[in-house]
Chain A
Amino acid sequence: MANEFQTNLVRNFCIIAHIDHGKSTLADRILEYTGALSDREMSDQVLDQMDLERERGITIKLQVVRLNYTALDGNTYILNLIDTPGHVDFNYEVSRSLAACEGALLVIDAAQGIEAQTLANVYLALEHDLEIIPVINKIDLPSADPEGVKKQIEDVIGLDASDAILASAKTGQGTQEILEAIVKKVKPPSGLVDAPLSALIFDSKFDSYKGAIPYVRVMDGQLKPGMKVRMMNTGKTAEVTDVGVFTPAPKTVDKLSAGEVGYLAASIKNVADTRVGDTVTDAANPTPYPLPGYRKATSMVFCGLYPVENNAYGDLKDALEKLQLNDASLIFEPETSVALGFGFRCGFLGLLHMEIIKERLEREYNLDLLITAPSVSYRASKTNGEVVTVDNPVNLPEANTLAFVEEPYVKATIMVPSEFIGSIMELTQERRGVFINMEYITPTRVMMLYDLPLSEIIYDFFDQLKSRTKGYASLDYELAGYQKAELVKLDILVNDAIVDALSCIVHKDKAYHRGKALVTKLRSLIPRQLFEVPIQATIGSRVIARESVKALRKNVIEKCYGGDISRKRKLLEKQKEGKKRMKQVGSVEIPQEAFMAVLEID
């Protein structure tokens, strides 16, 4: 059976790394080395396909590619590389990739050493029982210290670093050793080809012609066109029309067998029918055991998304549904705002995730969107014993019915050169952080652990952390329960009416400062109207800050332009366009940026 698929020649692996440690470049080298792409097709960071990813130099979406590698032992192996995002917001995507693999390359920058996310990623990989291959990257840098990094790997992570591969994704050094290590150390998949089909959906994508396309890792059995399959969780059945692998371009194959990674198309129209984490099985001969899936994505940040033009609500809904198929961590449900009309309350993994979703909706779906101030999910206990989850400040119960409010906390790991310990203490104190522990990981670097309110780190904490440590600090965090806090709802009144979309929940001690900063910012963002517009910040019925936007006095084209009327008309059309992009709230026109003002203060 020469052509029969041999599981022992398959390796499924991913690359995990702290952001900027060279993961995508290393993936490029591996693709190049194995000839997956011709030179002509090779562009930098091949796996970062989205414009946004290239522009920002980060990986947002996980990507899959199948490689053929002829090893020194003479066998040709199939290597499935699952690229993963590096930003802390996207840990969830990392955990999904891990579930589809048997091994992981742990890439560490030879000059930077272990960072907060390196650790978080290692723990995730160990949880999934993966073989970890340490790769010390960027050894071509003058400041590279491979021996020091090896020691860190052993001391801090507890992995044997004697076999750590020294590599430079820039020069290509070490690429072959990495591929050999994958073949030798990573276990082949253990699935049974003869068992009933069970395949894990680890990602999916929407194609306008083929419908929903789940990306799967086949654990047992085989997946072939013509089969009738069932999604065990949703119960949806469909007939498989096409299966394929990623070269990285999608390529149809006869079948996908146990141990393989690929995609399936089955004319699945409804995006909700193929949930990431679900198990695909043979409808005629189902497996009795659904795969464990993985922990659900936890939304950290919530905000309202509204179309600028009310009639685009349907388009926004469609776009969100399609994006959700690509990004299972995005959640949304309809909500209405007095100020903004119909929209959606959306949950995100973090602020970066939120920005990216907004940008993708605007770019890929050509929508004009308003986004309200981000909020975390609070837990409000009422005096009658009822507990409500509040992810929109508007829903915080009235003060007189409220017993107490709890807010989500995170356990934050910060790694930083020891000279910045003071700066970190200062910053975390400003953010209501509680110090837990500090450990020297090398004589000059420390790992600091803090309990911090999530609401204090979602805005600009990371930027502050970077700027106060000359860029040296790294951060990772995970949710760590709820704690009681003295929180109040801060309302903003524009022209004497509450604009619900501008309300936020803040700590009592910070309310005054926040209110003042917010109204000042709003005054500068809201253009003059035909009448004076008062802007107030209130807590309950108490006004804590007040500003006003003076009435518009002058908006006229005086010049004649020698009869060039077209120029006048164009100026007017431009002004009209500008007005269209504003949201009419009561009788006041508020620009989109105003709703994000809360992000730009402090």
Chain B
Amino acid sequence: MSFTSLYVHIPFCLSKCNYCDFISFPADLQDKRFGEYLKLLKKELLLRTEKKKDLLGGLSTIYFGGGTPSLLAAEDLAVFLRFVLALANDPQAQRIEEITIEVNPATVDLEKLTLLRQAGFNRISIGVQSFSDPMLEQMGRRHTAGDGKKTVALAKEAGFDNISLDLIYSLPEQDMQNWHDQLQTAVALDCQHISLYGLTLSAETVWGIAHEHGRLILPDEDLCADMQQFASQFFQDNGYVHYEIANYAKQGYHSRHNCAYWQRCYYLGIGVNASSCYGNVRWRNFDTLKDYENAVCNGISTIAQEEHLTEEQVLSESVFLGLRMMRGIAIKEWNARYQCDLEQYFFDAITQNIKRGLLQEADETLSLTEKGIPLANEVFVDFV
């Protein structure tokens, strides 16, 4: 048993953003729970590797996500990363290709970023989300557009040469002009990678509730689609490759870690609410600090939910995940890996969607068409 990727969840944020439905707990910088939490993460890893020594022996990517990992002290993160690398039997990070940390603007300075870079993080994902101050404020973000730009500059100065930005579009009352401006700003920062998310609201968020009661006006479906279409073209015109439904990167700078998800590689998630996948099993850790802590401290399972997928489910996942990548699914490779004939097994779904102009098959590869990208779910439901 060996994982390709490791995800480390840091469930703390300065405050909850109005649209966020991830598991996170409010915390201050220097919150004393941080140290405790890192200890728990260590312990979870030890518990897991105790039983299976080679668990992290094949690791090639590590991702610190959140929450806001950058709330933690750089020194502590560095110590923890060293611990992970040692467990992975790769203390100099020679085999492990990509080590990412998510950072929120205004939680880091040059010193902290430099320490992180020196500790071995070689990719940084900055949650700028928007370059409009009124929008950031409305979103409940604790930083300004200026902070976002500054963090990018500092990251470069600290030696990061693989920087990603998160951008959200389809924000309340956003229009096309505003979106153009945002994209200009984003591209001008000349980062290597951009993730692009349309705002989706869950019912239990502040915005979700406001929207349900008609107090929040969002761009309609057409405008939302126009924004996405425009952004996609704009990024490609500016030298980015559209490599995954929501992700754009300069040549060679795609996120290895996220691609591992789409390729159904096996990954271990540690920490509160972290998800993992191995073979046909998917599991998720407890989603409260208390339950998680209790499990780790008592050396019992941290798993809140475990799912054993049927063969059909594995096959369908491999398709709806694989098709998220613009390069698509290499049919022969897929057939060999899953011991199944893709074109035969999914004959109806494939033919129907090719007919509808949402899928294409060329050079032994099955992929979404340009039209199929924003309508991917219409395709995917035919495979589940």
Q: A560-B261, A572-B377 are in contact. List 18 more A-B contacts (CB 8 A).
A: A552-B375, A553-B224, A553-B374, A554-B224, A554-B228, A554-B374, A556-B245, A557-B376, A558-B196, A558-B246, A560-B195, A562-B269, A563-B261, A566-B284, A568-B320, A572-B380, A573-B384, A576-B384
Instruction: List, sorted by A's number, 26 A–B pairs whose CB atoms are closer than 8 Å.
Output: A530-B358, A552-B375, A553-B224, A553-B375, A554-B198, A554-B374, A555-B374, A555-B377, A556-B373, A557-B200, A557-B377, A558-B198, A558-B246, A559-B246, A560-B195, A562-B274, A563-B261, A563-B269, A563-B276, A565-B277, A566-B275, A568-B320, A569-B316, A569-B320, A572-B381, A579-B381
Bound CA span A494–B373, Å: 27
Chain B contact-residue range equals: 35 or more
Bound CA span A572–B313, Å: 12
Q: Are A558 and B381 in contact (CB under 8 A)?
A: no
Interface residue ranges of B227-280 to A (CB < 8 Å): 228, 245-246, 258, 261, 267, 269, 274-277
Q: Are B222 and A553 in contact (CB under 8 A)?
A: yes
In the assembled complex, the CB of A562 is this many whole angstroms from the nearest CB of chain B, namely 5
In the complex, what residues of B have CB within 8 A of residue A557's CB? 200, 376-377
Bound CA span A568–B322, Å: 13
Bound CA span A573–B65, Å: 27
In the assembled complex, the CB of B183 is this many whole angstroms from the nearest CB of chain A, namely 16
Question: Contacts A562-B269, A566-B275, A572-B320 known; A530 to B246 CB distance under 8 Å?
Answer: no
In the assembled complex, the CB of A173 is this many whole angstroms from the nearest CB of chain B, namely 48
Tell me which of A556, A562, A564 contacts B377 (CB under 8 A).
Answer: A556
Tell me which of A530, A563, A569 contacts B317 (CB under 8 A).
Answer: A569
In the complex, what residues of A have CB within 8 A of residue B22's CB? 561-562
B80 contacts A by Cβ under 8 Å: no
In the complex, what residues of A have CB within 8 A of residue B374's CB? 553-556
In the assembled complex, the CB of A592 is this many whole angstroms from the nearest CB of chain B, namely 19
A437 contacts B by Cβ under 8 Å: no
Q: Are A565 and B261 in contact (CB under 8 A)?
A: yes
In the assembled complex, the CB of B307 is this many whole angstroms from the nearest CB of chain A, namely 6
Bound CA span A573–B320, Å: 12
In the complex, what residues of B have CB within 8 A of residue A251's CB? none
In the complex, what residues of B have CB within 8 A of residue A579's CB? 381
Bound CA span A564–B258, Å: 11
In the complex, what residues of B have CB within 8 A of residue A559's CB? 197, 200, 246
In the complex, what residues of A have CB within 8 A of residue B282's CB? 565-566
In the complex, what residues of B have CB within 8 A of residue A554's CB? 198, 221, 224-225, 228, 374-375
A575 contacts B by Cβ under 8 Å: yes
Tell me which of A550, A565, A569, A575 contacts B222 (CB under 8 A).
Answer: A550
Bound CA span A242–B44, Å: 69
In the assembled complex, the CB of A584 is this many whole angstroms from the nearest CB of chain B, namely 12
Bound CA span A579–B379, Å: 13
The 3 closest A-B pairs by CB, nearest first: A553-B225, A558-B246, A564-B275
Bound CA span A559–B200, Å: 9
Residue of A nearest to B22 (CB): A562
Total residue contacts A-B, CB cutoff 8 A: 96
Q: Are B313 and A564 in contact (CB under 8 A)?
A: no
Residue of B nearest to A571 (CB): B377
Q: Are A569 and B275 in contact (CB under 8 A)?
A: no
Bound CA span A559–B167, Å: 11
A528 contacts B by Cβ under 8 Å: yes
Bound CA span A568–B9, Å: 19
B321 contacts A by Cβ under 8 Å: yes
Question: Contacts A562-B22, A562-B269, A562-B274 known; A555 to B375 CB distance under 8 Å?
Answer: yes
Q: Are A556 and B375 in contact (CB under 8 A)?
A: yes
In the complex, what residues of B have CB within 8 A of residue A558's CB? 196-198, 200, 245-246
Q: Are A562 and B197 in contact (CB under 8 A)?
A: no
Task: Please give the residue numbers on chain B whose beta carbons come within 8 Å of chain A beta carbons, in ascending order.
Answer: 7, 9, 22, 65, 195-198, 200, 221-222, 224-225, 228, 245-246, 258, 261, 267, 269, 274-277, 282, 284, 305, 307, 313, 316-317, 320-321, 356, 358, 373-378, 380-381, 384
In the complex, what residues of A have CB within 8 A of residue B358's CB? 530
Total chain A interface residues with beta-carbon distance under 8 A: 26
Residue of A nearest to B358 (CB): A530
Bound CA span A553–B267, Å: 33
Task: Please give the residue numbers on chain A whose beta carbons come within 8 Å of chain B beta carbons, in ascending order.
Answer: 528, 530, 550, 552-566, 568-569, 571-573, 575-576, 579
In the complex, what residues of A have CB within 8 A of residue B225's CB? 553-554
- Identify the interface centre among A528, A555, A559, A560: most chain B CB within 10 Å of its CB: A560
Q: Are A553 and B307 in contact (CB under 8 A)?
A: no
In the complex, what residues of A have CB within 8 A of residue B284's CB? 564, 566
Q: Are A560 and B258 in contact (CB under 8 A)?
A: yes
In the complex, what residues of B have CB within 8 A of residue A555's CB? 374-378
In the complex, what residues of B have CB within 8 A of residue A572's CB? 320, 377, 380-381, 384
Q: Are A556 and B277 in contact (CB under 8 A)?
A: no
Tell me which of B195, B267, B307 contacts A563 (CB under 8 A).
Answer: B267
In the complex, what residues of A have CB within 8 A of residue B381's CB? 572, 575-576, 579
Bound CA span A572–B381, Å: 6
In the complex, what residues of A have CB within 8 A of residue B305's CB? 566
Q: Are B7 and A562 in contact (CB under 8 A)?
A: yes
Q: Are A575 and B377 in contact (CB under 8 A)?
A: yes
Residue of A nearest to B321 (CB): A565
In the complex, what residues of A have CB within 8 A of residue B269's CB? 562-563
Q: Are A562 and B9 in contact (CB under 8 A)?
A: yes
Residue of B nearest to A562 (CB): B65
Tell me which of B246, B356, B373, B376 contacts A560 (CB under 8 A).
Answer: B246
Bound CA span A575–B65, Å: 28
In the assembled complex, the CB of A475 is this many whole angstroms from the nearest CB of chain B, namely 36
In the assembled complex, the CB of B5 is this many whole angstroms from the nearest CB of chain A, namely 8
In the complex, what residues of B have CB within 8 A of residue A568's CB? 320
Bound CA span A227–B225, Å: 76
In the assembled complex, the CB of A423 is this many whole angstroms from the nearest CB of chain B, namely 32
In the complex, what residues of A have CB within 8 A of residue B320's CB? 568-569, 572
